Structure 1
Amino acid sequence: MPSDAKILIVDDHEDTLYALESALAPLGYRLGRATSGDEALKQVLRGQVGLLLLDVRMPGVSGLDVVRYMRRLEQTQHIPVVLLTGFGPDHELTSAAFALGVADLLMKPIDPWALRTKVRYLFDTHRRHLALEHEVRELRALVKDHTEDKDHTEDRGHEGQDHDEDDDAAARHRALPHPDARVPVQRINGAHTGELEQDRT
C-alpha cells in the first residue's frame, strides 16, 4: 500500500460524506470521497486506496457491485471494505456482504467512536500485512540470488577440478617411457653390467 494511501468514503449523499469525514478526521488519515460506484472503482484501480467505507444502495453501480468487481482483481481483492446501510437489518444483505469478504456491515446513523475504532484497526492491519508481504518478497529474492550465485561458483569449481585432473593425467603420461625406447645400460659399483658378466666367465 502506498505511503499516501487513503480511506475512500463512498456515498451518494453529500451530508453523509461530510458526517463520515468529520468522524474520521481525528485519526489523521488521508481521506477521499466518491459519490458513485463507478467513481469509487476508478479511484480504487489507481492504487491509492487502503480501505473503503461504502454505501450499499446507490444509483447505478451499488456497493455490492463494487465489492464483487474488486474481489475479481488481484490488485484490489484484499482491500478491506466496510459497508454502510441505512435500511436496517437485512439477513439477505448480510449474507451476501460477508460472502464477498467485507470486513464489516454498519447501520446508519454511524456511531463516530465505533467507526474510528473499526477503521483504525482495519487500516493499520492492512498496512502491516502489505509491509510484511513486501519483506517476504524481498527475502525470497535475496535467497534466490544467493542460491544462483552459489550454484554458479560450484559449477566453476567442478570445471577447475576437472581441468586439474586432466593436467595430472597428462603429466603422468609424459613421465612414462615410450614402449620402443632403449633401456640405458645400468652401472653397478662403477662397472657396466656387461663387464660383470665377463668377470663371472
Structure 2
Amino acid sequence: MPSDAKILIVDDHEDTLYALESALAPLGYRLGRATSGDEALKQVLRGQVGLLLLDVRMPGVSGLDVVRYMRRVEQTQHIPVVLLTGFGPDNELTSAAFGLGVADLVMKPIDPWALRTKVRYLFDTHRRHLALEHEVRELRALVKGQGEDGEPAARRALPHPDARVPVQRGEGAHTGELEQDRT
C-alpha cells in the first residue's frame, strides 16, 4: 500500500458520505469518496486504497458485488472492507459478507467513536502487514542476490559455521559461572 493510500468511503447518499467523512476526519487519514460500486472499483484498482467503507445496498453494483470482484483480483483481495447497512440485522447478508472475508458489518446509524476505533485498527494493521511483506521480499532478494565474486550474498554475510560466538555479558550467570570481561 503506497504511503499516500486512503480510506475510501462509498455510499450513494451525499449526506451519509459527509457524516462518515466528519466522523473519520479526527484520525487524520486521507479520505476518498465514491457514490457507486463502479466508481469504487475504479479507485480500488488504481492501487491507492488501504481500507474500504462500503454501503451494501446501492443502485447498480452493490457493495457485495464490489467485494466479490475485489476478492478475485490479487492486488485487491487483502484490502480490509467494512460493510455498512441501514436495513438492520439480516442473517443472509451477514453470512454472505463474512463468507467473502469482510472485516466487519456495521449497522447505521453509526457510532462515530466505534467507527474510528475499528478504522484505525484495520487501516494500521493492514499497513503494518504490507510493510512486513515488503521487508520479506527485500530479504529474499538479498538472500538470492550474488556478489561480484559469484558468491551468494547470504554466504558472504554469514559467519563461518565453525566461528566461535563470543559469550555475552550476563550469559552463564544463571548456571553459576563467573562473568569475565574478555576485552
With over 3 angstroms needed to count, the CA separation of the structure-2 counterparts of 1:160 and 1:62, relative to structure 1, is closer
Runs (4+) of structure 1 exceeding 6 A deviation are 165-172, 174-201
Instruction: Point out the structure with max Rg over C-alpha.
Output: 1
Could you say what secondary structure the match of 2:149 adopts? helix
Q: Find the aligned partners of 1:64 and 1:128 in 2 and give their Cα distance.
A: 26
With over 3 angstroms needed to count, the CA separation of the structure-2 counterparts of 1:200 and 1:129, relative to structure 1, is closer
Q: Which residue of 2 aligns with 1:169?
A: 152
With over 3 angstroms needed to count, the CA separation of the structure-2 counterparts of 1:39 and 1:167, relative to structure 1, is closer
TM-score by length of 1: 0.71
With over 3 angstroms needed to count, the CA separation of the structure-2 counterparts of 1:26 and 1:139, relative to structure 1, is same
Please say if residues 6 and 49 of structure 1, whose CA atoms lie closer than 8 Å, have aligned partners that are also in contact: yes
Please say if residues 12 and 36 of structure 2, whose CA atoms lie closer than 8 Å, have aligned partners that are also in contact: yes
Shift of 1:130: 0.1
Shift of 1:171: 39
Please say if residues 44 and 76 of structure 1, whose CA atoms lie closer than 8 Å, have aligned partners that are also in contact: yes
Structure 1: unaligned runs, 5 residues or longer: 144-158
Of 158, 173, 189, which residue of structure 1 is paired with 2:171? 189
With over 3 angstroms needed to count, the CA separation of the structure-2 counterparts of 1:195 and 1:93, relative to structure 1, is closer
Q: CA RMSD in A?
A: 21.4
Could you say what secondary structure the match of 1:188 adopts? coil
Shift of 1:198: 83
Shift of 1:191: 81
With over 3 angstroms needed to count, the CA separation of the structure-2 counterparts of 1:167 and 1:62, relative to structure 1, is closer
Q: Deviations over 1:105-138 (max 9, x none)?
A: 0000000000000000000000000000000000
- % identical aligned pairs: 95
Q: Deviations over 1:149-173 (max 9, x none)?
A: xxxxxxxxxx999xxx99999999x
Q: Find the aligned partners of 1:189 and 1:19 in 2 and give their Cα distance.
A: 58
With over 3 angstroms needed to count, the CA separation of the structure-2 counterparts of 1:168 and 1:24, relative to structure 1, is closer
With over 3 angstroms needed to count, the CA separation of the structure-2 counterparts of 1:184 and 1:109, relative to structure 1, is closer
Shift of 1:24: 0.1
Please say if residues 185 and 193 of structure 1, whose CA atoms lie closer than 8 Å, have aligned partners that are also in contact: no
Q: Which moved more, 1:180-189 or 1:35-44?
A: 180-189
With over 3 angstroms needed to count, the CA separation of the structure-2 counterparts of 1:64 and 1:141, relative to structure 1, is same
Q: Find the aligned partners of 1:192 and 1:94 in 2 and give their Cα distance.
A: 55
Could you say what secondary structure the match of 2:2 adopts? coil
Could you say what secondary structure the match of 1:7 adopts? strand
With over 3 angstroms needed to count, the CA separation of the structure-2 counterparts of 1:141 and 1:16, relative to structure 1, is same
Structure having the larger proportion of residues in helix: 1
Q: Find the aligned partners of 1:141 and 1:21 in 2 and give their Cα distance.
A: 40
Q: Which moved more, 1:187-196 or 1:55-64?
A: 187-196
Q: Deviations over 1:88-107 (max 9, x none)?
A: 00000000000000000000
Shift of 1:6: 0.1
| Alignment: residue pair count | 182
With over 3 angstroms needed to count, the CA separation of the structure-2 counterparts of 1:13 and 1:139, relative to structure 1, is same
With over 3 angstroms needed to count, the CA separation of the structure-2 counterparts of 1:140 and 1:87, relative to structure 1, is same
Structure 2: unaligned runs, 5 residues or longer: none
TM-score by length of 2: 0.78
